[in-house]
Amino acid sequence: MSFDYDLFVIGGGSGGVRAARVAAAGGAKVALAEEDRYGGTCVIRGCVPKKLMVFASEYAGMVEDAQAYGWDIQSGDFNWGSFKGKLHAELDRLEAIYRNLLKNSGVETFDQRAKMADAHTVELADGTKKTAKHILLAMGGRPVWPDMPGAELGISSNEIFHLETLPKDMLIIGGGYIACEFAGIMNGLGVKTTQYYRGAQVLRGFDDEARGLVSEEMCQRGVDLHCGTNILEMRKEGDKIWVKATNGDERLFDQVMFATGRAPNTVDMGLEALGVELGRKGEIVVDEYSQTAVPSIYAIGDVTDRVNLTPVAIREGMAFVETVFKGNPTPVDHDLIPTAIFTQPEMGTVGLSEEEARELEPIEVYATSFKPMQQSFAGRAERVLMKLIVSQASRKVLGCHIVAPGAGEMIQLAGIAVKMGATKEDFDRTVAVHPTMSEELVTMKEPVRTA
């Protein structure tokens, strides 16, 4: 049977684009459909614009620190309009790069929505049908928020990059990555920021001590964080949004942002009818090679809800090409993925949290929390945390958790050692880089506790 293409990819985000162009570079005939902008969540409405906003929001504090270091400079006002213009110009530039990458690798693109018609056929929004030997689903995810009175008045992280003006007063709902990162960003940009989280402590699933410090520092810097609090109801009141919370508070905000999780983009894709198995959240169920229950259909990235991070989607895309087009079956290794949360301060983490590790085996915990030199000189009360979880039996470092400015950069490197199976003694025989914050990772002599 002959097909129009060897591979048809649905979704032009990080994972889909990488798989498409690597397959095409290897000689496959490839097409890709994208209904929105190329680059996907990461480039257009996620990691990239978010990180630029983190940078923008950090300057206010830097001016104060510079003054403490003797600089005669004054902080001015933040001009959202000017920043936003540059931000979107940058996103346009990046999207053009993504389009060029596809074009230069010979991938044919369709700027429209696509869905499945049968195991080898994709139907485009204009009604045309394309056949392919293999189909790769890489549609990503989208923000979801609770169904409650007035919920439509709120925004998600998708809209935050497009605000006409910065709100004076903002409420953020949720306690995950997105909620905590934007609480820091908005607060840094001078927005009076309130955060409601329904649980007892933000960043559920991460090391307790690390997330405890992040939340303490967020509050210290001015985020009005209320744990054990959720939103009940909202309605328009003049040009404000009136919000009633579970703690009895009734308050007015200029803007309310929901960061209450994301769902895989599998609605109305024609998947169930073909026998592609979906999980409880609508995620596509795949095996270790990213293959679905229908042999010709594979899925990668957030649409599979495995580990929802850009570099993981890219890995999954590369492993898919290796498996399907290079005859080299390559399972995706999801173990020991280092990651950073761009809260203020940042958190970098790899491996097991103390709570997870002690359920598995006897451990030693090495941890130190201190005021870093640069900020302490500037008169800030801010603290950082360096923490290692060590197996008593194998001496391996099972987890490394850093809360500090630049923790994302640090954990990338510590992640190599942990992934290689370094022991506490390997860390110890590495000479400290002095004076740095991360030198503490190789100078902690005694465990603070065993468990």
Task: Kindly list the catalytic residues.
Answer: 434
CB of 346 to ligand NDP, least distance (A): 9
- Kindly give the pairing relationship between strand 262-264 and strand 141-143: antiparallel
Residue 335: both structure tokens together:
């173990």
Instruction: Tell me the per-residue interface mask from 195 to 214 with ligand NDP, x by CB under 6 A, - otherwise.
Output: --xxx----x----------
CB of 190 to ligand NDP, least distance (A): 22
Between 257 and 418, name the residue whose CB sits nearer to ligand NDP: 257
Q: Does 350 bind ligand NDP (CB under 6 A)?
A: no
Starting at the edge strand that comes first in sequence, how are the strands of the sheet with 224-227 ordered? 224-227, 192-197, 169-173, 255-258
Between 235 and 326, name the residue whose CB sits nearer to ligand NDP: 235
Binds ligand NDP by CB under 6 A, chosen from 28, 124, 274, 309: 309
Q: Does 389 bind ligand NDP (CB under 6 A)?
A: no
CB of 162 to ligand NDP, least distance (A): 18
Nearest to 341 by CA among 194, 191, 227, 207: 207
Q: Which residues face 224 on adjacent strands?
A: 194
Q: Does 179 bind ligand NDP (CB under 6 A)?
A: yes
Between 260 and 344, name the residue whose CB sits nearer to ligand NDP: 260
Q: Does 343 bind ligand NDP (CB under 6 A)?
A: no
CB of 66 to ligand NDP, least distance (A): 27
Q: Does 342 bind ligand NDP (CB under 6 A)?
A: yes
CB of 45 to ligand NDP, least distance (A): 11
CB of 160 to ligand NDP, least distance (A): 12
Per DSSP (E only), the strands in 201-326 are 224-227, 231-237, 240-245, 250-253, 255-258, 262-264, 297-299
**Distance, CA of 316 to CA of 18 (rounded, Å):** 10
DSSP string, 3-48: -SEEEEEE--BHHHHHHHHHHHHTT--EEEE-SS-TBHHHHHHSHH
Helix (H) or strand (E) holding 182: helix 177-188
Residue 68: both structure tokens together:
């403490």
Binds ligand NDP by CB under 6 A, chosen from 290, 339, 353, 375: 339
Q: Which residues face 291 on adjacent strands?
A: 298
Q: Does 331 bind ligand NDP (CB under 6 A)?
A: no
Which segment (27-35, 192-200, 314-322, 441-449) binds ligand NDP by CB under 6 A?
Answer: 192-200
CB of 341 to ligand NDP, least distance (A): 5
Q: Does 406 bind ligand NDP (CB under 6 A)?
A: no
**Distance, CA of 49 to CA of 3 (rounded, Å):** 39
Q: Does 175 bind ligand NDP (CB under 6 A)?
A: yes
Between 197 and 325, name the residue whose CB sits nearer to ligand NDP: 197
Write the single-letter amino acid at 393: A
Q: Does 261 bind ligand NDP (CB under 6 A)?
A: yes
Nearest to ligand NDP by Cβ — which residue? 176
Which segment (119-127, 220-228, 256-264, 350-358) binds ligand NDP by CB under 6 A?
Answer: 256-264
Q: Which of residues 279-308 bind ligand NDP (CB under 6 A)?
A: 308
Eight-state DSSP code of residue 195: E
CB of 115 to ligand NDP, least distance (A): 24
Residues in the chain: 451
Strand, helix or coil at 241? strand
Nearby residues of 137 by Cβ (< 8 Å), 6 or more positions away: 10, 11, 269, 271, 276, 284, 292, 297, 298, 299, 300, 303
Under rule CB under 6 A, how many of the chain's residues touch ligand NDP?
24
Q: Does 146 bind ligand NDP (CB under 6 A)?
A: yes
Task: Give me the long-range contacts of 2-5 (CB less than 8 A, separation at least 24).
Answer: 3/120, 3/131, 3/132, 3/133, 4/29, 4/31, 4/130, 4/131, 4/132, 5/29, 5/30, 5/31, 5/108, 5/130, 5/131, 5/132, 5/133
Binds ligand NDP by CB under 6 A, chosen from 150, 176, 311, 447: 176
Between 12 and 46, name the residue whose CB sits nearer to ligand NDP: 46
Residue 238: both structure tokens together:
């003049």
Between 151 and 451, name the residue whose CB sits nearer to ligand NDP: 151
Residues forming contacts to ligand NDP in the complex (CB under 6 A) are 146, 173-179, 181, 197-199, 204, 230, 259-262, 308-309, 339-342
